[in-house]
Amino acid sequence: MTQPVIEMRAVGKRFGKLTALDEVSLTLKEGEVLGLMGHNGAGKSTSMKLILGLIRPTSGELKVFGHDPGGAAANDLRLRLGYLPENVQFYEQLSGYEVLDYFARLKRIGTGVVRPLLERVGLGHAMYRRVKTYSKGMRQRLGLAQALIGEPRLMLLDEPTVGLDPMATRDFYGMVDELRGRGVSVILCSHVLPGVERHIDRAAILGRGRMLASGSIDELRQAADLPLVMRLRTARSPESLADALRSHGVLARQTAAGRIELEVPVRAKVAVLRSLMADPEVADLDMEPPTLESLYAHFDATIRDRAEAAPAPTATLDAPQGVSA
């Protein structure tokens, strides 16, 4: 069996009395894209800093490519990693070319990679301009180019589409798909969940430092057991549809677009579809299974409900003051 690229076993991280991670277990395989989700303070950035070897676990075991990321192999491991932080910062007086040249030298990579990387992320036209003239989106592209230096085998991307326009976002996710096709493993943190769903193999949802749920989108849907949504055009009223489908547990409401929206339990999907397709009043129908966004909201609400019912927990945070990537 191939060794996991990342293996976290009951990893905990505390900063004094503050708990950032509480016995989190996680694996990442070669060529797999993992979406790491969670609210601010859930533990996402702490997890990334642990994987990078910038901080050490308080408890549990963490291996990256089979080694302790903060141990003797740390320098060699970092040459195999690419990291894009949420808020990228560069020397403002340097040009984009000079910035990338500097990071290439730090990674002991020939500077011949600089121009192709800048072209690849759409900065070829601005490579000799000073960074202080770059927009936020351009700085994000420069950060992505920096993360790609050296053909890394593991990419850690923290809110990588912040500041990118829709076309640049599309190009970015195309690059993620390309990396996966080349066997590169990727951890992708994002709050823009609709854009993430089609480009990840699995999702891991953190909340208050704990792992709330982990698995493929289909596995999370089964675990959450949320209803799917059907939208249809029909001359019938929501009340008459609700009455006709009440035995299946269906809820109906009118939408602003003039359609009727049904919430249908997954177990009743086929029976409801048959009933609607046999109804001559139904003119159009589309169906949407629970999205990653709704799944995240479900699991996040679950832990919030538990927290409200339980005694006040130990405070949590994403990263302490003074610890940065």
**Beta 202-207 vs 18-28: how paired, if at all?**
unpaired
The verdict on residue 94 lying in a domain is no
**Residue 202 and residue 247 in one domain:** no
CA-to-CA distance for 275 and 278, rounded, in angstroms? Answer: 5
Give the per-residue pLDDT at 142: 94
CA-to-CA distance for 134 and 164, rounded, in angstroms? Answer: 13
**Model-level pTM?**
0.84
Cα 22 to the center of its chain, rounded Å: 20
Please check whether residue 48 is in contact with residue 158, taking contact to mean a CB–CB distance below 8 angstroms: yes
How many distinct structural domains can be found in the chain? 2
**Residue 25 and residue 71 in one domain:** yes
- Residue-range definition of the domain harbouring residue 63: 6-80+152-222
Q: Which of 195, 222, 249 is the last residue of a domain?
A: 222
| Amino acid residing at 160 | P
Find the helix or strand (DSSP H, E) in which 233 lies.
strand 228-234
Please check whether residue 137 is in contact with residue 165, taking contact to mean a CB–CB distance below 8 angstroms: yes
Mapping DSSP to helix (H, G, I), strand (E, B) and coil, where does residue 78 land? helix
For residue 171, the domain's CATH number is 3.40.50.300
Mapping DSSP to helix (H, G, I), strand (E, B) and coil, where does residue 159 land? coil
Residue whose tokens read 């829709």:
166
**Residue 74 and residue 10 in one domain:** yes
Please check whether residue 37 is in contact with residue 213, taking contact to mean a CB–CB distance below 8 angstroms: no
For residue 253, the domain's CATH number is 3.30.70.260
**Residue 204 and residue 237 in one domain:** no
**Residue 16 and residue 44 in one domain:** yes
Q: What is the pLDDT along the chain (325 residues), one digit of tens a residue?
A: 678 999 999 999 999 999 999 999 999 999 999 999 988 888 998 999 999 999 999 999 999 999 999 888 888 888 899 999 888 889 999 999 999 999 999 888 888 999 999 999 999 999 999 999 998 889 989 999 999 999 999 999 998 887 788 888 888 898 899 999 999 999 999 877 877 888 999 999 998 899 999 999 999 999 999 999 999 999 888 899 989 999 999 999 998 778 999 999 999 999 999 999 999 999 999 999 999 999 999 998 876 666 566 555 444 444 444 443 3
Give the per-residue pLDDT at 318: 46
Tell me 45's DSSP state: H
Give the per-residue pLDDT at 316: 44
